[in-house]
Amino acid sequence: MFRENQNNNLKLVGLDNQMVEMDKDFENMLKAREIARKKLEEKFKDVNSRINSNKDFMIDSGKEFNKKLQKYQNEFNTDLENKRTDLNNYLTDQQNIIHEVLTRTDQRMLDLETAIAEEKKDRRETWDRELKEIDDDFNALKQGFSDETKNRISKKRNVIQAMEEGNNKIMEWLDEERDQRHKQIAKLKKDIIEEQGVENIDKRLVEFAQDTKGKFDDIRDDWDTKIDQMEEKIKKNSLTMTKMNLQQTQG
């Protein structure tokens, strides 16, 4: 029976041995895990310590940075305020200067406009006065020229009238002389017919005609001479009037 159960007992002993080994392995594992846990805790503590140290350093650095930043901010604000004040003062000064310059410029423009208006007024008055004087002189000259023209025309008309009257008198005298000659010719013809007869009429008529023609030629030459003298006088009078007109125009 022992032998029959020996194999089973061996199995149990082996199982028991395995259990003992497993217990040993488990204990070793627990020990190893504990050792690892302790090492890990040590590492964690070291890391935590480093983290805390870094945290403290960061906090201290942050505080220092904040102090520097606050200091810089204060300096920046102070400098900015100073620059703002300087800029405002500069702008105010520039505005005052510009305002003063614009005020002076406006005043100068007003003075200039006033001076220009006065100058325009003075020049307009001067021009009006000078133009009035010129118009008066021109009107006087035109009136004088018109009067002189009228006088010259009147004189020429008088000369023409005198020439026409003289011409009419001469023509009347010529007509009378011609009538007288005709009467003389008729009387001579009658006398010739009565005294010498018909045969001597042609000779007497020729002689009378030649004599009459000679007298008429003398009268015509005398008339031409008088006409030439009258034309010469008219030319001299016209030249004298022209010179007088030129002298008055130049004066």
Q: What is the DSSP string of 174-237?
A: HHHHHHHHHHHHHHHHHHHHHHT-GGGHHHHHHHHHHHHHHHHHHHHHHHHHHHHHHHHHHHHH
Indicate whether 234 belongs to any domain: yes
Indicate whether 216 belongs to any domain: yes
Q: Cβ neighbours of residue 245 under 8 Å, at least 6 residues apart?
A: 145, 148, 152
Which residues form the domain of 160?
144-250
Indicate whether 112 belongs to any domain: no
3-state DSSP assignment of residue 1: coil
One digit per residue, the tens of pLDDT, for the chain of length 251 reads: 444 544 555 555 566 667 677 777 777 877 877 787 788 778 777 777 777 777 777 777 778 888 888 888 888 888 888 888 998 999 899 889 888 888 888 888 888 888 888 888 888 888 778 778 877 876 777 777 677 777 777 777 776 677 677 667 767 776 677 777 777 767 766 766 665 555 555 566 556 656 666 666 676 667 667 666 766 766 666 566 556 555 555 55
Q: Which two tokens stand for residue 1?
A: 């029976």
C-alpha separations of 86 from 71, 89, 99, 181 in Å: 22, 5, 19, 135
Indicate whether 212 belongs to any domain: yes
Indicate whether 38 belongs to any domain: no
Question: What is the pTM (predicted TM-score) of this model?
Answer: 0.31
Indicate whether 126 belongs to any domain: no
2-195 helix and 201-250 helix, angle to the nearest 10 degrees: 140
- CA quadruple 228, 229, 232, 236: dihedral, nearest 10: -170
3-state DSSP assignment of residue 73: helix
Indicate whether 12 belongs to any domain: no
Task: In whole angstroms, give the CA distance from residue 13 to residue 59.
Answer: 65
Q: How many domains does the chain have?
A: 1
Indicate whether 157 belongs to any domain: yes
